[in-house]
Amino acid sequence: MSSDEGQLFMWSLEKPEIPYMLVNYAPKNDNEEQGEIITCSDIHPSSDSLFVYGMSKGNLKIGDLRISSNIQSTATSFGDISPHKNYIYELLSSYSDVKFAKKGSHIVTRDCLTVKLWDVAAPKKPIFTVMLNDAIKSKLCEMVENESIFDKFQLACSPDSSSILSGGYNNTFHMVDPFETNSSSINSQYELSYKKATVVRSMVKGSTVSRMDYTTRTTAVDFNPKKNMCAVASKNCFFTYAMS
């Protein structure tokens, strides 16, 4: 599966020269403005008829080819689909990444401020939401001015979906455990260092940072599909971690 800002395609490895267009939000002519763009997508781990995609105004949808090939009319919408109140809220709601988790029964999303966990069978609201860094909320005007608010951060899930990995600013990444009962262990921030050991701190509500370096972003993250190991990249450095 692949997507650009206006279209979502499914590809066959047997006939890679002929993609199948799943959805099309692209303008019909050059004079027409595109109202909303596709920002991320993922295909179900065991059913090639199910897929999910997120959009720039906070719309999250699951399509099922078993129901209809007209996905834009039959897709299931997740969360609040009412129009946003202002431009800033719209930017904050834009999805950076989306992944299926728990063997496809759940969905994980990342936006500017939060990581959310959704139950595929209960689309009205997420079953878990964590604010990654409270300090970012005080920097929103600054982020709009320097356009950092458009930065995209990847998501990754551990093989058993017990941990969610996502990047951040200041050479950091976050390890989120949505099933942890201890609130101080739900969101841990790892600060990368090229010369010394990684610093780990618990990100509870009200956590602050003394500085915000928007140039040192950890945007690429992933888990080993079989082992409890993860990899993150920041600038020209690549780090691997064996998780306990």
In this structure, the answer to whether residues 137 and 85 fall within a common structural domain is: no
- Verify that 60 and 154 share a domain, yes or no: no
Give domain status of residue 64, yes or no.
yes
Q: Are residues 230 and 136 in the same domain?
A: yes
Same-domain pairing of 48 and 154: no
Give dist(CA 102, CA 19) in Å, integer: 28
Q: Residues with Cβ < 8 Å from 141, sequence gap 6 or more?
A: none
For residue 159, what pLDDT is reported?
87
In the chain, helix, strand, coil percent, each to 5? 15, 35, 50
User: Residues 139, 205: one domain?
Assistant: yes
pLDDT: which is higher, 55 or 30: 55
201 touches 209 (CB < 8 A): no
Weakest-pLDDT range from 47-61, 72-86, 135-149:
72-86
Residues 242 and 144 both lie in one domain: yes
**Number of separate helices (H) and strands (E) present in the chain:** 3, 19
Phi, psi at 103, each rounded to 5°: 60, 25
Q: Are residues 57 and 161 in the same domain?
A: no
In a domain, 104, yes or no: no
Statement to judge: residues 243 and 136 lie in one domain: yes
How many Cβ atoms sit within 10 Å of the Cβ of residue 165?
25
Question: For residue 153, is it within any domain?
Answer: yes
The parent domain of residue 156 ranges over 132-244
pLDDT at 12: 87
Residue 109 falls inside a structural domain: no
Please identify, among 95, 121, 147, the residue that sits at the C-terminal boundary of a domain.
95
Question: Domain tally for the chain?
Answer: 2
Tens digits of residue pLDDT in 165-182: 999 998 899 999 987 767
Q: Report the SS3 class of residue 206.
A: coil
Q: What pLDDT was estimated at residue 41?
A: 95
User: Is residue 119 one of the residues assigned to a domain?
Assistant: no
- Lowest mean pLDDT, pick from 64-78, 179-193, 200-214, 223-237: 200-214
Higher pLDDT among residues 139 and 203, named by residue: 139
Structure tokens at 71: 């996905």
Average pLDDT over residues 21-33: 81
Regarding pTM above 0.75, the answer is yes
Helix (H, G, I), strand (E, B) or coil at 239: strand
Q: What is the mean pLDDT of the chain?
A: 87
Do 27 and 80 reside in the same domain of the chain?
yes
* Same domain, residue pair 89 and 150: no
What single-letter amino acid sits at 56?
S
Q: What is the mean pLDDT of residues 133-137?
A: 81
Comparing 200 with 46, the larger pLDDT belongs to 46
pLDDT of 153 higher than 90: yes
Specify if 31 maps to a domain.
yes
pLDDT at 196: 75
Q: Is residue 122 part of a domain?
A: no
Number of residues that this document lists for the chain: 244
Instruction: Identify the pLDDT of residue 114.
Output: 93
171 within domain boundaries: yes
Share above pLDDT 90 across residues of the chain, in percent, rounded to a whole number: 41
Give the pLDDT confidence score for residue 192 in this predicted structure. 86
